[in-house]
Structures are given as structure tokens and as C-alpha cells.
């Protein structure tokens, strides 16, 4: 038996994806078998799970789900698709964290920012030039929908404060602190430690310029509370923020969020 686009189809010796496409999905020109792309003439084995896709057509939700399930390590996708992750600040860190988490099919993202896209953001942030002037929450929501429309995205269009953070993010599993200002970074960590006990947390400090890659590290401050960065390289006149190094930190952050979701990091209660 074969599983073709989630339907059971009898297996015959020597059958290949283009035979199946001719019968079941005319026009299909992308063939995925057990999570990996194959040639149209690849010989299939009994028990294979096949996806026949027409290029340019958005796969339905269950198809995306199966593709991510097959692509990721067993046991990962079930946890990731149930997860709710909060992202505070949608600049160089937050927009890249959100993109990485959307790509792996995170169940729900709660994205907060009050700002609009400016031309100076485009050197590192995940927006496009035709989005200048648009609210970052709206622009990022649209961009994520083009990556994976089945990730639920909720936006909070307000300037966050230490008082509001515990209210807004009380239902997330993990919180990513992606602010630009040092004062808000400190305020957010206090808010999480005092008002959001038991949640995973990944913040950032020290990501500016083009200093050594490997000085950016992920350190655990308290159980389940992590800080990424070199701890000292502040953004300042003469030392700006750029896509490569901010991107390194953002992906440290996203991977640490994933590790917490997968139970690889103990969270303090």
C-alpha cells in the first residue's frame, strides 16, 4: 500500500511518482517521498508516503503538516505545532526569530511591536522595501503567511512595558526578548522573573557590529532563563547593528526556544 496525498493507494511493482500523478494529480511536478524530493521516475517501495504537488499551488494544511512531520526528527513536530511562543520586539532579532519559528511550523506566535518599518531597518530585519511605513506587526504577519499560512499569528500593536508584559504573555510557553533598548531588556527579564514564573525565556545582550562570531554565546542565568550574546558589544554611534551578527544571535535565540519546547532545558518553577 502507498499513501498518496494522505490517501491509501494500492502498490504495484515498478510504480513511480509520474504514474501516480497522471492518475491522481494531473499537472503535479514536485514529488516528495517520505519527506524528501525525488525524481518523477523514482521507483517507489511498498509503504512509501508520497506527496504530489503542483508548483506554485499552496499545499493544504494537512499536507504542510505531513511535510514538516517527515522533515523533522521524530517526536519534534508534535511538540512544535502545539507550542505558543511570544516575541517582544520585531526588529533585527524578533523578525528573524519569528521567521525561523514559522518555518519549523510553530503552532502559534504572539508578536508585539508598536513601530513601523523604516528604510534603516532593511539592513537586518525581515521586511521588504515595499513595506516601508507599514506597521511591523502587520508587515511581519503578512511575510510569515507567505512562508507558512498555517502558523497562527496574533499581533499586539502597542509599546510594551514592564507592567503589561505578564498580562500579554501569560499564555505563552516560551518568551523571546528581542528589544533594542537595554532598559527594556532589563525590564522584560524582571517582568518574566517576577510575573511569569515557570515560563521559558530567551533574551539577548551584546550583538552589535561585526565582532567575532564565536563570542556570541547562549548562557543560562536561572533554570529555563537564557541570555544570548557577548554581553558587552552595545549598539552605538560608530558601531551599528547588521544582519550577519544580529542574525547569529537571533538564531541562537530561536534554537534555544526550540530546545525549551522540546524539553531539552529545565524551566524554573
The C-alpha cell of 165 is what?
Answer: 508584559
Q: 23-26: which pairs have CB atoms within 8 A and are 24 or more residues apart? A: 24/52, 25/52, 25/53, 25/54
CB neighbour class for 37 (10 Å; exposed up to 12, middle 13-18, buried from 19): exposed
- State yes or no: residue 159 binds other proteins (CB under 8 A): no
115 binds other proteins (CB under 8 A): no
Q: Does 193 contact other proteins by CB under 8 A?
A: yes
- Report d(CA 58, CA 130) in Å as an integer: 23
Tell whether residue 254 is a contact of other proteins (CB under 8 A). Answer: no
Between 3 and 186, CB nearer to other proteins: 186
Q: 12 or 161, CB closer to other proteins? A: 161
| Grid coordinates given for 178 | 528581542
Near other proteins by CB under 8 A: residue from 22, 41, 145, 182: 182
How many residues form the binding site for other proteins (CB under 8 A)?
36
Least distance (Å) between residue 192 CB and other proteins: 10
166 belongs to the binding site for other proteins (CB under 8 A): no
- Which one of residues 149, 232, 263, 264 is an interface residue with other proteins (CB under 8 A)? 232
Q: How far is the CB of 233 from other proteins (least distance, A)?
A: 7
Nearer to other proteins, 156 or 211 (CB): 211
Asked if 48 and 4 touch (Cβ cutoff 8 Å), the reply is: no
Residues contacting residue 213 through CB under 8 Å, at least 6 positions apart: 245, 248
Buried b / exposed e along 113-152 (16+ C-beta atoms within 10 A)? beebbeeebeebbbbeeebeeebbbebbbebbeeebebbe
Query: Which one among 10, 13, 129, 183 touches other proteins, defined by CB under 8 A?
Result: 183
Kindly state whether residue 181 participates in binding other proteins, applying the rule CB under 8 A. yes
205 binds other proteins (CB under 8 A): yes
Residue of 244, 181, 185, 252 lying closest to 211 (CA atoms): 244
Residue 93 interacting with other proteins (CB under 8 A)? yes
DSSP letter, residue 107:
S
The nearest distance, CB 70 to other proteins, in angstroms, is 34
Residue with Cβ nearer other proteins (109 or 191): 191
8-state DSSP, 135: B
Q: Which of 4, 20, 241, 254 binds other proteins (CB under 8 A)?
A: 241
Q: Rg for the chain (alpha carbons), in Å?
A: 21
Q: Which residues within the stretch 45-84 sit at the binding site for other proteins (CB under 8 A)? A: none
> Which residues, including other chains, have CB under 8 Å from residue 151's CB and lie 6 or more apart?
101, 102, 105, 106, 107, 108, 109, 144
Question: For binding to other proteins (CB under 8 A), which residues are involved?
Answer: 89, 91-94, 162, 178-183, 185-187, 189-190, 193-194, 203-208, 221, 227, 229, 231-236, 241, 246
Amino acid at each position: 500500500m502507498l499513501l498518496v496525498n494522505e490517501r491509501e493507494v494500492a502498490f504495484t511493482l515498478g510504480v513511480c511518482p509520474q504514474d501516480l500523478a497522471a492518475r491522481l494529480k494531473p499537472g503535479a511536478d514536485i514529488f516528495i517521498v517520505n519527506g524528501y524530493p525525488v525524481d518523477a521516475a523514482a521507483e517507489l517501495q511498498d509503504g512509501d508516503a508520497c506527496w504530489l504537488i503542483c508548483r506554485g499551488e499552496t499545499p493544504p494544511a494537512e499536507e504542510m503538516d505531513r511535510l514538516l512531520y517527515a522533515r523533522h526528527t521524530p517526536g519534534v513536530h508534535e511538540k512544535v505545532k502545539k507550542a505558543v511562543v511570544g516575541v517582544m520586539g520585531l526588529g533585527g532579532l524578533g523578525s528573524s526569530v519569528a521567521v525561523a519559528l514559522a518555518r519549523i511550523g510553530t503552532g502559534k506566535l504572539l508578536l508585539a511591536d508598536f513601530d513601523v518599518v523604516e528604510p534603516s531597518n532593511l539592513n537586518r530585519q525581515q521586511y521588504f522595501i515595499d513595506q516601508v511605513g507599514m506597521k511591523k506587526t502587520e508587515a511581519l504577519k503578512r511575510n510569515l503567511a507567505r512562508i507558512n499560512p498555517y502558523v497562527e499569528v496574533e499581533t499586539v500593536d502597542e509599546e510594551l512595558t514592564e507592567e503589561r508584559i505578564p498580562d500579554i504573555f501569560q499564555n505563552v510557553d516560551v518568551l523571546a526578548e528581542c528589544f533594542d533598548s537595554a532598559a527594556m531588556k532589563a525590564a522584560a527579564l524582571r517582568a518574566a522573573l517576577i510575573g511569569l514564573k515557570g515560563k521559558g525565556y530567551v533574551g539577548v545582550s551584546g550583538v552589535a557590529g561585526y565582532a567575532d562570531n564565536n563570542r556570541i554565546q547562549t548562557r543560562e542565568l536561572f533554570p529555563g532563563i537564557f541570555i544570548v550574546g557577548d554581553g558587552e558589544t552595545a549598539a552605538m554611534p560608530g558601531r551599528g547593528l547588521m544582519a550577519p551578527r544580529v542574525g547569529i544571535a537571533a538564531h541562537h535565540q530561536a534554537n534555544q526556544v526550540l530546545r525549551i519546547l522540546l524539553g531539552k532545558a529545565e524551566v524554573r518553577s
